[in-house]
Copies of this chain bind each other. A is one copy, B any other.
Amino acid sequence: MTDCKRSRCPVACTLDLLGDKWTLLVVRDLLFGRHTFKELQASAERIPSNILADRLKRLEREGILRKQLYQERPPRYAYHLTDKGRSLGPVLHAMLSWGSTHVPGTLNKEEIDALLNAE
């Protein structure tokens, strides 16, 4: 309440941080092993670059990921989830499970595993 949250409800506060179309997809990709701006941009959903830059900034500010320079000259950056970020795994998993069973046309878990192993 001190820092202008909508309420003290943990669900509402989580949505204040992650409640939009893109943020959790970035977390998904980081969990799935994509780490550079380019890799994150290349996901199937084609996140616009300005939105991606904004979300990476927010997530870093919230301590959900860290940006690290892994190579000088030319400067190259990698984004990695913190423990706080990795602990969003169950949220993503619950969404994956719900979507997989309730949204027709989505990949099921076997198809996802197959894709992940094929990479």
Contact = CB atoms under 8 A, between A and B. Distances in A.
A51 interface: no
Contacts of A21: 15-16, 19-20
Majority DSSP secondary structure for residues of A touching B = helix
Contacts of A100: 10
Interface stretch (A34-42, A52-60, A69-77, A82-90): A82-90
Given A11-B24, A25-B11, A92-B11, A105 B5 contact: yes
Interface residues on A, range: 35 or more
A45 interface: yes
Given A19-B20, A20-B20, A105-B1, A14 B91 contact: no
